[in-house]
Amino acid sequence: MASMLQPQIILLKEGTDTSQGKAQLISNINACTAVVDAVRTTLGPRGMDKLIHDDKSTTISNDGATIMKLLDIVHPAAKVLVDIAKSQDAEVGDGTTTVVLLAGEFLKEAKPFIEEGVHPQNLIRSFRMAANLAIARIKELAISIERKSLDEKKSLLEKCAATTLSSKLIGGEKEFFAKMVVDAVTSLGEDDRMNMIGIKKVPGGNMRDSFLVKGVAFKKTFSYAGFEQQPKKFHNPKILLLNVELELKSEKENAEIRLSDPAQYQSIVDAEWNIIYDKLDKCVKCGAKIILSRLAIGDLGTQYFADRDVFCAGRVAEEDLQRVASATGASVQTSVNNIVPEVLGQCEIFEEKQVGNERFNIFNGCPSGETATIVLRGGADQFIEEAERSLHDAIMIVRRALKNSAVVAGGGAIDMELSKYLRQHSRTIAGKSQLFINSYAKALEVIPRQLCDNAGFDATDILNKLRQKHAMSKGEGALFGVDINNGGIVDTFNNFVWEPSLVKINAINAATEATCLILSVDETIRNPKSESAQGEGAAAAMAGRGRGGLRGRGRGMRRR
């Protein structure tokens, strides 16, 4: 009898929590659904905002990526949704709420099949097939804005930016900001690095007091005595950029100078002054009227430049200095010796201007034109912060639309068309895949449905109208989406509700990948924090798919 009793051997460290199988899958899906419900109401022009606060700060936002980053999610599977929101934000800048919502809906549609015992790999295969079909269909439906004149293209890009901004806090002024964003992006030319567009926030004033500088603007730096005597406006000035400290520095504490004659002390002091005067003299002789340095320019230097009608600013932020270099054609110098004319920059007008309670140094009419600065005004700090996030999304969208100049109809139109297309395609497939692709098609309707719910319309009624319109029409029906302003349906393309096709392609790709990833996990093993390496042996974790515990014989394993 004793020989029949096999000893039970524990492989995992005591305190390890394991859960597996169907229950684990459903638990993961439920966790993701809970996260999706947190951002569901932020979608679209009538979306609500979320107020998230901790001990340090308060944030008001309806940007999906921002909310997902600020939510302190501890569930390991639900963290996948945070990652896809971040990836969507990094890749295309907009559609972060869309991607989270789609992933949640795909999982919701998969849940009944999992409960009925369908193997997750079957669902994963069908969902990937559906995603490939949907992306191919988007590429067919996309309308190119290539080969247009610059004015036409600007007008089209403004429509894309306005669609993005319509769902944001500054949606009431979307035309004003859309034009500003397009001007900023198109002024960059070929160099479309994001850090070449600066956004400066100045509390106070009205949103419409915001303005665009086709050049560089930055806040007045720390100033020393003599600063007010410097001229504050120049026409066609030469600009010198330095990474040099222009102030008298006392010797370090451990420096030691031995003197045999007290009269020699004065010669050492004079040498220090001669060094700084020599540097200042070389800066003025090069012909520059504006001198900016990343390091400090002390009170001696400030007064010296003021006496010679030269403007100077020390401790300029690295990013601002780099943008001035790009805009004016100047090169940052690490020495004041041998300054040749080629390293100096130039702009049409430099002026120091009052904006709200702040003084700003503004460089306008820069020759290279490869940088721009948006100065944002508004009431509360939280409002300006959200306005900055909104403009970031719009800037990203315009950059992407310039590079991949294909757009699709917004307002849920493309989602309804893809849903119809996949439903029709599923009928041509035999077997279980037909059901899975059909459920994927149904999940795509979540976007127009949520747009209706957030606007307070009857979602069932509007979705029925959209289904009918898309089913009856060939081609033209693909452009009909939710009419946010009046309820009902409207040709969203002709009403200029556009979004770059790249946004939708990336959203469907990322949402499908996240869904497949979560569906492929059937076991979670949570290791306890290792308190001591003694007595427990090495902890090994092997996550198997299917049943069967993690048991076996071997050295270092305890018998129970």
Q: How large is the angle between the packed helices 96-115 and 120-141, nearest 10 degrees?
A: 140
| Residue 97 is a catalytic residue | yes
* Active-site residue identified among 42, 66, 97, 515: 97
Distance of alpha carbon 390 from alpha carbon 381, whole angstroms:
14
Q: What angle do CA 148, 153, 158 make, to 5 degrees?
A: 160
Identify the CA nearest to 78 among candidates 22, 28, 19, 26: 28
Q: How many CA atoms lie within 13 A of 405 on its CB side?
A: 14
Among the listed residues 89, 320, 393, 522, the single catalytic one is 393
Return the number of other C-beta atoms located less than 10 Å from residue 232's C-beta: 14
Residues with Cβ within 8 Å of residue 99, at least 6 apart in sequence: 64, 84, 85, 88, 506, 507, 510, 511
Give the closest residue to 322 by CA, choosing from 345, 339, 354: 345
Helices 96-115 and 501-519: crossing angle in degrees, nearest 10, is 30
Catalytic residue among 42, 63, 328, 371: 63
| Segment holding 403, helix H or strand E | helix 381-403
The angle subtended at Cα 61 by Cα 56 and Cα 67, nearest 5°, is 75
**Could you confirm whether 33 is annotated as catalytic?**
no
- Report DSSP letters for 307-353, one per residue: HTT-EEE-S--HHHHHHHHHHH---EES-STT--GGG-EE-SEEEEE
Partners of residue 58 on adjacent β-strands? 53
Active site residue 458: no
Beta bridge partners of 351: 233, 362
Distances (CA, A) of 511 to 84, 311, 504: 7, 54, 10
Q: Is 483 a catalytic residue?
A: no
Q: Which of 59, 96, 221, 302 is catalytic?
A: 96
Q: From the CB of residue 315, how many other CB atoms can be counted at a distance below 10 Å?
A: 13
Contact criterion met (CB below 8 Å) for 421 and 199: no
Calpha distance 212→191 (Å, rounded): 18
Q: 446: helix, coil or strand?
A: helix
Q: How many residues does the chain have?
A: 560
Q: Which residues are catalytic?
A: 63, 96-97, 393
